[in-house]
Amino acid sequence: MRRLGLAGLFLVALFLRLWGFEQGYPDFYGHVDEIGVAASVWNYFRVWTLQSSEFTYPAFYSYLVVAGLLLT
């Protein structure tokens, strides 16, 4: 049973890796809008402010990312 689970995990990981080649991975990490969101989240920690600097997604999305980072 354990080997079956590991084989399933391996197949999912292989599928995601092969699917990612179409998007430019591993040479390009992230889509155009993800870079802006990551920069906005980084600014929360760099400047210690909750003012959003990226409006591709609503600010609440960035706040959820920050909360997840703080919890981890």
* Residue type at position 40: S
pLDDT at 6 over 90: yes
Run of H or E residues at 8: helix 2-22
Residue-range domain boundaries for the chain: 1-29, 31-72
- Mean pLDDT, to the nearest integer, of 30-39? 69
Q: Kindly state the DSSP code that residue 23 receives in the 8-state scheme.
A: T
* Integer Cα distance of 36 and 56 in angstroms: 8
Mean pLDDT of the chain: 79
Q: Would the pLDDT of 29 be above 90?
A: no
Q: Is the dihedral of CA 45, 49, 52, 53 positive or negative?
A: negative
Give the mean pLDDT of 4-29. 81
Predicted structure pTM score? 0.46
At 38 the pLDDT is: 78
Q: 38-70, pLDDT tens digit by residue?
A: 777 888 888 887 777 777 677 788 888 888 888
